[in-house]
Structure 1
Amino acid sequence: MTRQNQDKEKISLLFICLGNICRSPAAHAIMQRDVDDAGLTDRFSIDSAGIGPWHVGSLPDRRMRQHGARRGLDVSHIARQFDAGRDFRSFDYIVVMDDDNYRTITKMATTDADRRKVIKMADYLKDHHGAQSVPDPYYGDGADFELALDLIEDGCSHLLQAINGKEDNLAMD
């Protein structure tokens, strides 16, 4: 996945979770904050989507919005469902929150190039040794939402560093 004309094209990231109301909109908000703070807003396009249609058109889960707001995040993305045809064409990186998300999204890929776009957030968790995924906090309590946010902040920070470290010949394959 090598970017050509990187001075003119944005790096596009799509965050995926099951319903697009907890983890992926939080990742969207966190990465947007990190990109903005780094002065890279004009270089990135960030979005999120869910695998299933259950929450399309809805705001993120109230608990995620509340926990995110305590960290200064605006977690207000309107949920949408992943569209394999459009999203594989439109995004450079499709970042999934867990192994189930990874299996589901990679099965929708029709080419090896599309499969290579799908990466796991867990691969960028450097401060949470042993974490294999970002667990879904939906059926949990406040501590589960805080853990999800901690993991996503860790992953987004290191993903952004990885992308910035490869700007000269942007390829994460």
Structure 2
Amino acid sequence: MKRVLMVCLGNICRSPLAQGILEAKAASQHLAVEVDSAGTSHWHAGEKPDPRSVYTAAQHGLDISGQRARQFTPNDFRSYDLILAMDQSNYDDILRLAPDETAQKKVKKIMDFVPGAQAGSNVPDPYWDDDGFEKVYEMLDQACEGIIRSVRGEI
């Protein structure tokens, strides 16, 4: 079983969407992938995903309303095989907590899984942009397709 952790800042917008998308893709292809999400901050711990993320997911047939935000911890390095940051800031914050080089190697930026994406691409935080949630969904959907291909050993 491959264990994947999606990480953004507050764990209410991007990472819950990414979790829902990857869970659905893995289930539809009968792949043994366990997915969770977390935030580098504690601001929203225990809260449901942002209603705009829930709505956007629902527009694509996904229900992420049962997820609850939590903060990323150093223990996550032991629990997950792959830790995916939504942007450079979260990537840097995660790496600062890594206990060793083995843990650091588990951390990637999610857009690194999109063929042809510009190196270092970020998934923008849609929190301040009501119109940004669909764009973020589309970016994460492409990235999750790449993650599925990676899990299957195709890339």
Name the TM tier (shorter chain). over 0.9
| Counterpart check, 1:149 vs 2:140 | no
Question: Which one of the candidate residues 92, 107, 111 is aligned to 1:122?
Answer: 111
Question: Which one of the candidate residues 22, 42, 45 is aligned to 2:13?
Answer: 22
Q: CA deviation at 1:126?
A: 2.8
Q: CA deviation at 1:83?
A: 1.1
Offset from partner CA, 1:81-138 (integer Å, 9 cap, x none):
1011x100100000110011111101110100000000111111237x4481110000
Question: Which one of the candidate residues 37, 40, 53 is aligned to 2:42?
Answer: 53
Equivalent AA in structure 2 for residue 36 of structure 1: A
Question: Does the residue aligned with 2:126 lie in a helix, a strand or coil?
Answer: coil
| Counterpart check, 1:80 vs 2:70 | yes
Q: Tell me how many residue pairs correspond in the alignment.
A: 153
Structure 2: any 5+ residue segments left out of the alignment?
none
Q: Which residue of 2 aligns with 1:100?
A: 89
Q: Which residue of 2 aligns with 1:13?
A: 4
Structure 1: any 5+ residue segments left out of the alignment?
1-9, 167-171
TM-score (norm 2): 0.94
Q: CA deviation at 1:163?
A: 1.8
Larger Rg, first or second structure (1 or 2) = 1
TM-score (norm 1): 0.84
Cα RMSD over matched residues? 1.5
Identical-pair percentage? 39
> Runs of 4 or more off by more than 2 Å in structure 1?
none
